[in-house]
Structure 1
Amino acid sequence: MVLGPGDHPTVYSPVHVAPGGARYLTHPGVVTLARPNVAAPHSAIGDATIEQFLSGFDDSLGFRSSLQDPVELPPAAALCKVAGQLCYMSFGPKRTTNAEAARYFANIRGSGHGSVLEHATFTFLCYGISRSVTHELVRHRAGFAFSQVSQRYVSAQTLRFVERPEFRETPELHRDFEARIDETARRHALLEQQLAELQLQGSEALAAQGRTARRKRIQQAARALLPNETEAPVVVTANVRAWRHFIEARANEHADVEIRMLAYAIYLCLRHMEPLLFGDYDETKLPDGTTAVSTATPKV
């Protein structure tokens, strides 16, 4: 997997075309849509925001000194650190400075007090993943939000598939896969056409008011033909604590290879953006060529 550069990293997944024209992808693609944006100098504490709060305390406490921390932190780390410091009103000269942030977050991981990590969220567009993957992905509920493509509202024109690694590596299985998705795409388009004709003939089962409702009746029936290897793009938002749990549960040797590849791709993006929050993981190359990650401090 190649990680794209920039503040919003990506993992690109190219599209392939089977002999009969069916489109498919072979590994997950990930696009960073949103990340924390801390309105603060040096990603510390904002002069125009928290200063209004700190100025209400006695000057002898030295709280304003925290506004001049010279070390810049990534936005999510800065947000989580401020949230944690608020718990102890630790804004004076004896506070944990930004230069000591690595030790600060190591203590959080070691103690398991990960609630402060829930303040920072990241949103990714995940594509090149099958419906098999999203069936597992949406089981991660706490701290997550999902918006997935609906086969009831989307026509066959956007139909794509995902080839598993086991099929790619075996010529016979690869040829069978391409033939199968070409046939599936053909049969799906034919089924939509047959259902549309029945609807025009007055079928009560397909009757509906309005063009959109009529198309939905056709597409919701035709989708019954689609296999688990159909692509199912999804936008996912989760906080740092939830993403860590997802990575630990899915980017390991015991997870299905498809969701392991997705978890690793998301991990690469998160580590690139926030090394203080995701830099404690070790990577292990597995016999199948994929990568697993682990940490000495799981379940924060």
Structure 2
Amino acid sequence: MQIKLIGHTQLVDDVFLFDETGNLDWVNAKDHLDCTDGQAIALSAIRTCYSHNKPSEIVELEGEKYFGSDAKDGEGGTDADRLLRHIVKSGHTSTLEHINFTFAIEGVSRSLLAQITRHRHFSFSVQSQRYVKLESDSKSGGFAAVVPKTVENNDKGDTEGVYLDALQIIQETYNRLRELGIPAEDARYILPNAATCNLVLTGNLRSILEFYSKRGAKQAQWEIRELAELMKAAVIEVEPWTESFFKVK
């Protein structure tokens, strides 16, 4: 499995604060306020619900108050961190839906795909078994497959060999069906859950936290649990303030 964050919500350059010439200057403002783009967007969304100020003015008029003072709840960070903690605890997490992350996910099984598509608020673009050729002599070299650790490490006979032999039989049967003129969209019916695929996935912060709370738990299946941990790490790398909100049920 490979995962890479290929995009995430960032502010445009000409929002929020003015420089000495009267031009909007977010770059310097962000350094001054010591916050990420995601935090600025979250503050704008949260305070819009409770403030008479316009959304485009929130960080300009209220940023110093929240990002420039210590948290009043004694739990560390700035008062913006305190506000974010309060929002998450109170369940007002719709305000986090404005922060999106897009991942390139590669080499996961169709079994994992069946599980992750149950999470309704993600967007998916998935490699097609109808249009991507999977014959052994095609560019793909045949379908790849996930081998579970329980199969690799099983010491009761040649467990891995049995597993790989079954995959080889399926590949050979797929090849033969294609040679017989069966279209790929029908030949794919015999491909196993182990067959891998690639996808692009986009989710907002609220949906990613919800996904992690279920799929990061120890009772989740190992492959999707690994994906949940990798997604968490990628989000935290660009928005470190989110780390404390990744919790399992």
Confirm or deny a common fold (TM above 0.5).
yes
3-state SS of 2:120 partner = coil
Does the alignment pair 1:83 with 2:61?
A: no
Q: Check 1:126–1:68 CA distance in 2 against 1; reply closer, same or farther (3 A cut).
A: closer
Gap change, CA 1:36 and 1:116, over 3 Å in 2: same
In structure 2, the residue matched to 1:259 is 224
Do structure 1's residue 45 and structure 2's residue 16 form an aligned pair? yes
Hey, what's the Cα distance between the residues in 2 that align with 1:193 and 1:169?
Answer: 36
Question: Which residue does the alignment assign to 1:175?
Answer: 161
Number of the residue aligned with 2:6: 33
What does residue 75 of structure 2 align with? Answer: none
Report the equivalent of 1:184.
170
Unpaired stretches in structure 1, ≥5 consecutive residues: 1-27, 54-66, 197-217, 282-292
- Give me the whole-angstrom Cα distance separating, in 2, the residues matched to 1:180 and 1:233: 22
Aligned to 2:74: none
Shift of 1:33: 1.4
Task: State whether residues 30 and 36 of structure 2, in contact with CA within 8 Å, keep that contact through their aligned partners in structure 1.
Answer: no
Shift in Å, 1:243: 0.4
Query: Contact 2:35 / 2:67 at 8 angstroms: preserved in 1?
Result: no
Confirm or deny: 8 A CA contact 2:34 2:67 kept in the other structure.
no
Percent identity reads 24
CA contact (8 A) 2:130 2:188 kept: yes
Residue 257 of structure 1: how far off its partner (Å): 1.4
- When residues 68 and 192 of structure 1 are mapped into structure 2, their CA distance, relative to the original with a 3 A threshold, is closer
How much has 1:69 moved relative to structure 2? 7.1
| Cα distance, 1:104 vs structure 2 | 2.0
Q: TM-score, normalised by structure 2?
A: 0.78
Larger mean CA deviation between 271-280 and 234-243 belongs to: 271-280
Change (3 A) 1:40 1:278: farther
- Structure-2 separation of matches of 1:133 and 1:68: 39
> 1:135: how far off?
0.6
Report the number of matched residues. Answer: 219
* Paired position in structure 1 for 2:118: 139
Contact 1:117–1:240 under 8 Å retained in 2? yes
Partner of 1:246: 211
CA 113–77 in structure 1, closer or farther in 2 if over 3 Å, else same? same
In structure 2, stretches of 5+ residues that fail to align are 69-77
Superposed CA offset, 1:177-236 (max 9, x none): 22222332222112111126xxxxxxxxxxxxxxxxxxxxx1011101101101122111
CA contact (8 A) 2:33 2:63 kept: no
Q: Which moved more, 1:99-108 or 1:149-158?
A: 99-108
The root-mean-square deviation of aligned C-alpha atoms, in Å, is 2.7
CA separation of 1:179 and 1:70: change in aligned 2, threshold 3 A: same
Q: Could you say what secondary structure the match of 1:265 adopts?
A: helix
1:233 is paired with a residue of what secondary structure? Answer: strand
Matches within 5 A, 1:80-229: 80-87=42-49, 88=51, 89=53, 91-92=61-62, 95-97=65-67, 99-142=78-121, 144-156=122-134, 157=138, 158=140, 159-170=143-154, 172-195=158-181, 218-229=183-194
Cα displacement (A) at 1:278 = 2.9
